[in-house]
Amino acid sequence: MSNYFLTRFYCSAFIKYLVLTGICRSACSANQYHFISKGRSYSEAQQYCRSTHTDLATINSEADMQNLLATVSGGYSGAAWIGLYRQSTPLWHWSLPDHQYYTHGGTQYRNWQPGEPNNSGGSENCGSMGDNGKFSDTPCTLYLYTVSHNTPHISVNILIYI
């Protein structure tokens, strides 16, 4: 096993210890969310997020959802793009391609609005989030606000000094 993977494993385990013991709470959150109040299509929003942050918002858990809602609280009404999408299958995926990013089961978190996804009109292939935190399938060409995220990279040197 390479030093990179061993370091990543030990750092990950240490961060989980800090979070589970309560020593570290929101400062160790995996995502930092950003609300962008300019309307864009899904592909435009994704390009913007990937050029200025990490990607469209990816939500791994209820804790991530609460963090996201606290960030955008009062910031908008209606819907905003998040990183959910589907291609030609009924399966939904998060747009962030780095599988090392996700926690166990994190790619499966969904918070659908009741009755969603419904693919109304046959062209709802992109995911949006309402101001209530619930997900909907939405036509990708609509202009909506955007929620993006950064995934902070934690240095081993920082962990040594904690």
DSSP result, 31-82: -EEEEEEEEE-HHHHHHHHHHHSSEE----SHHHHHHHHHHHTTT-SSEEEE
Would residue 76 count as lying in a domain? yes
Would residue 137 count as lying in a domain? yes
Would residue 140 count as lying in a domain? yes
Would residue 128 count as lying in a domain? yes
Q: What pLDDT sits at residue 154?
A: 42
Predicted model pTM: 0.70
Give the residue numbers spanning the domain of 47: 31-151
Phi and psi, residue 47, nearest 5°: -60, -45
Q: What pLDDT sits at residue 10?
A: 42
Would residue 89 count as lying in a domain? yes
Would residue 21 count as lying in a domain? no
Q: What pLDDT sits at residue 13?
A: 46
From CA 152, how far away is CA 88, in angstroms rounded? Answer: 32
Would residue 10 count as lying in a domain? no
Q: What's the CATH code of the domain at 39? A: 3.10.100.10
Quote the number of domains for the chain: 1
Would residue 136 count as lying in a domain? yes
Local mean pLDDT, 10-residue blocks, the chain (162 residues): 42 43 44 90 97 91 86 77 88 71 56 93 94 94 94 46 44
Q: What pLDDT sits at residue 77?
A: 80
- CB count in 10 Å sphere of residue 143: 12
Rounded percentage of the chain residues whose pLDDT exceeds 70: 65
From CA 145, how far away is CA 48, in angstroms rounded? Answer: 12
